[in-house]
Amino acid sequence: MTTTFTTGKVTLLSAGPGDLDLLTIKAAKALAAADVVLLDDLANPEIVSLAPRARVIRVGKRGGCRSTPQAFIQRLMTRYASKGLHVVRVKGGDALLFGRAGEELAALKRADIPFDIVNGISSGFAAAASLGISLTHREHCQGVTFITAHMQDHGEPDWATLAATGTTLAIYMGMSRIENLCAKLMATLPAGTPAAVVQWAGGANERRLVTTLGRLAAEAQAAQLGSPAVILVGDAIGEAEAFDAIAPRYDSRDSLAHAA
C-alpha cells in the first residue's frame, strides 16, 4: 500500500488594525476556506467568525507579555500544511510590516510549502485616517518613514538621523521608550514639532493624543496610553484638526529652519 501525502498551503493574512470592515474581500475568502487559523494576539478576535470551519489556534506575540515562540508558530504552519490543510496565519495590521513575515516565509520556503500573502491596512495608516491627515502632505514632508523602536538586538534606531530625513515618522512599538526617543528626536527637531499617539488605531477602543514633541512623552504617560500604539512625529501631523487648539500659530518653517 502506498501512502500519498498532499501538501496544503499557508496564507499570511493581514487582519488590519481591528475593524473587520477594513478587511479585503480576498482576506474574507481566505478565511472562509481555511482549515486552520493561527490567530495573532493583536488581531480582532471576532475575525474567527469569518472562518466557520477552521480550527483556531491562538499564537499571541506581545512585547513584554508571555508570547508563543516564533519557532513553534513556524512548526505549526508547516505541520498542518504538510497534511494537506489550508493554514491561514492571521497577523495584525499588514503582514509584511514588523510582523516577522520574513522569518515565516523563509521557513515555508525551506519546507517547500506553497504560500500566498494577503495585504492589509497597517496601524500607521489607520492612525493617519483617524487624525484626518496625510502622512505625505507635500507642503510639509517628502515622504514617510516606518520604524520600529523595538530592535532585535535590544538597541535603538539612530533617532537623530531619522529626524533629519524630512519625513513623517511613524514609530511602532515605541511606547515603552517614548521618553528616550522623544529626547533623542529633539536633538534635531524643535520641541514644537507636531506629534501624536494613536492607541488601538482603527479599533472600537481607539484613543488619540495630539500634541507637540516636547510634551508628547509626559502627556502620553499622564493619559496612560500604552501599547499597541503608533507614534507619529512631523510637520504633517500639524494638519490634524485637534492640533489647532494646541498651537494655532505653529509654522512648519520653524522646524525646517531648526534642522538646517
Residue type (1 letter), 42: L
φ, ψ at 186 (rounded to 5°) = -75, 0
For residues 13 and 26, give the distance between their C-alpha atoms in angstroms, rounded to a whole number: 9
User: Exactly one of 77, 91, 94, 173 is catalytic; which is it?
Assistant: 173
C-alpha cell at 97: 510590516
Contact between 201 and 187 (Cβ < 8 Å) = no
40 is catalytic: yes
**Which residues partner with 233 through β-bridges?**
169, 195
41 is catalytic: no
How far separated are the first and last CA of the chain, in Å rounded?
76
Angle at alpha carbon of residue 147, lines to 146 and 153, rounded to 5°: 155
**Which residues partner with 197 through β-bridges?**
209, 231
Cα dihedral across residues 10, 12, 13, 17: positive or negative: positive
User: Exactly one of 61, 77, 91, 184 is catalytic; which is it?
Assistant: 61
C-alpha cell at 205: 477602543
Active-site residue set: 40, 61, 173
